[in-house]
Every structure is written in C-alpha cells, then in structure tokens.
Homo-oligomer: A and B are copies of this chain.
C-alpha cells in the first residue's frame, strides 16, 4: 500500500504517519518527489487500514498494491484446482457441461431434461427449486418438492445435480439432496449466505454478480473459502452494461483474467449472458476457445411451455446438435469431454 501525501502536507504530517507505522510494527519507505511525497507501507496493511489513514492530516489518498483475497489467489496457490462433484471433475484438463431447466416444474419435465442432457454429453444436471424472479408475480419454484425430484433422478441417471440456493434456509434443505450448490448473481454479495455455504462441505458454483468487479467476485469466493470450503467454481454469466441487444454482456475476457489471478475452475453461462437462444452456440464456442473449464446451459424438454426462461432454453434436439458442434472445439482446446 502506498500513502500519497497532499502537495500541502507538512513535514510534521509525514513524520506522524511514519511514527504511526512504526508503532504498528510496520515499515515505512519514504519517496519524495518535486511536488508529491509517497510513503510505502511494508507489512500487514490491515492494521494500518483500521486506523483510517485517509483521514490523517496531509493524506491525499491510498493506493492499494496487493489483493485482499488470499485463499483464492494464484500467487499463494499456484496449481490449478480440480473439483470433484460426486465423480465428475471440474477444472484441469476436463471440460464439463452442466445442463437442465431453469426451473424444475415436475418430475417428468426434469427427467426428460436429464435424459436429453445426458444423451448429448452433459455430465451434471441443473434445475432450479428456489427461483429469484424480478417480479413477485412470477413463478417462484417448487422448493423441497423439486429437490426430491433431483435426488430421485440422480439415482436413476447417475448424474450429479446442482441447484441454486437463495437463502440459508434453502441451503440447509438443499445440502440433503444435491451435489453442487449454486450461488446466483443476485446473491454474490449475500455475505450471510456465503459464510453458511463456506461451512458446508459441498462444492459451490459462484456466479458473478450483475455488476461485480473481478476483484469483488474473488473476495466473494474468499468469504466461502475462509470458512473452510475450498471447493469453489466460478461462473461468468454476463455483466450489466449500457448495451441492450443482449440480456447481459458476456465478459469473455474474464476467463483469461481470472486464470491469471486464481487457481479456481471457471465456467461460462451463455444462456443468461445472452438471454437469446440463437446466440448460445456461438458464445459456447467462444467460451471453449477462450479457455473456460465448462459451460452451464439451460435445456428444457419443451421451451415453449417453460415456466421460466423459456426464450433462452434449448430443446433436446438443439442441445444435442450444440454438443456435437462443440466437440471439435473442446478437442482442439485439449480438453477431455
């Protein structure tokens, strides 16, 4: 951390900061320019930050140098993490496709989705039991009934299952039925939930918040990891920008950026990123080519009857065709699928 002093800072101002740093057991490195003086803080900056140095006389601003996340940081954990979701590997040289309906509507609908997903090559089944919806008048999910269908269908198909948990209560129920928990974009900074999920042993798919920076996203992963759960998978699902021709703007660069900052696996969700069925195939190809570890895609046996996200869901044939189209790209990327 660097303390940038004001042009008008006095010698006394500078000395009191140095004294404060020494009192805290930190080193101060002074750098005097023609018009600006800088003080480099060496040591555990959190002690210094707790003193609100921005408010000390003569201070103009603070410039952070190192990241605040540690467990998620590739600097302290240089090998890529591979996460085992009940036998399915995510990360490393694996390529994983999670597919299934936005919302679980019935046993049959979920079963048909599972069969279609598995047949096309997807390894994990998704299905929403607790649905966060913009309007309170939209369908809100089957809750525990939906989770029971998930567990049943896992037994019958052998596919691990994932569901979104929208509250601590939902999480407590979900852990009994699923193999992977999803934290949705709207809950990426629901810190209570992150901490609860961190106390569980179940792997977690952490979606990026609607307008979260990559730094905030990795800090959200750190919330989970600092409670003990190291099995965090990141999923880029588009960010909010001024452009409205897609539902969100897929930040495809987030994949290589994350790769340079963290050892956690990285998926891409082209369904939510675009919101439009026609764009899912090109964006899936791009995600593979850019280096993602997998995809999360909405599949519904009959999108026209879906209770949620129908317009961005693929039907079984289209999903099968998509997977066929993706296979040579996955192979070219050197991944097992």
Q: A25-55: which have CB < 8 Å to B?
A: 27, 29-36, 38, 40, 42-43, 46, 50-52, 54-55
Check: A271 CB closer than 8 A to any chain B CB: no
Q: List B contacts of A260 (CB < 8 A).
A: 278
Given the complex of chains A and B, what is the CA–CA distance between A69 and B136 in angstroms? 9
Q: Are B278 and A282 in contact (CB under 8 A)?
A: no
Q: A207-224: which have CB < 8 Å to B?
A: 209-211, 213-216, 219, 222-223
Q: Are A226 and B328 in contact (CB under 8 A)?
A: no
Q: Is the interface of A mostly helix, strand, loop or mixed?
A: mixed
Output the least CB separation between A249 and chain B (Å). 6
Q: Are A166 and B137 in contact (CB under 8 A)?
A: no
Given the complex of chains A and B, what is the CA–CA distance between A223 and B140 in angstroms? 12
- A31-B42, A52-B304 known; A135+B252 contact, CB < 8 A: no
Output the least CB separation between A106 and chain B (Å). 15
Q: List B contacts of A190 (CB < 8 A).
A: 166-167, 186-187, 190
Q: Are A252 and B255 in contact (CB under 8 A)?
A: no
Check: A158 CB closer than 8 A to any chain B CB: no
Given the complex of chains A and B, what is the CA–CA distance between A215 and B246 in angstroms? 12
Q: Are B65 and A4 in contact (CB under 8 A)?
A: yes
A52: contacting residue among B55, B226, B303, CB under 8 A: B303
A332: contacting residue among B193, B211, B328, CB under 8 A: B328
Q: Are B169 and A137 in contact (CB under 8 A)?
A: no
Q: Are B189 and A169 in contact (CB under 8 A)?
A: no
Query: Interface-forming stretch among A109-117, A174-182, A234-242?
Result: A234-242
A: residues with CB less than 8 A from B are 2, 4, 7, 27, 29-36, 38, 40, 42-43, 46, 50-52, 54-56, 63, 65-66, 68-69, 75, 130, 132-137, 139-140, 166-170, 186-187, 189-195, 209-211, 213-216, 219, 222-223, 226-227, 239-246, 249-257, 260, 273-274, 278-279, 282-283, 285-291, 303-307, 310-311, 328-329, 332
Query: Which 9 A-B residue pairings sit nearest by Cβ, starting from the closest?
Result: A211-B211, A31-B40, A29-B31, A52-B310, A289-B289, A285-B289, A167-B192, A286-B286, A286-B290
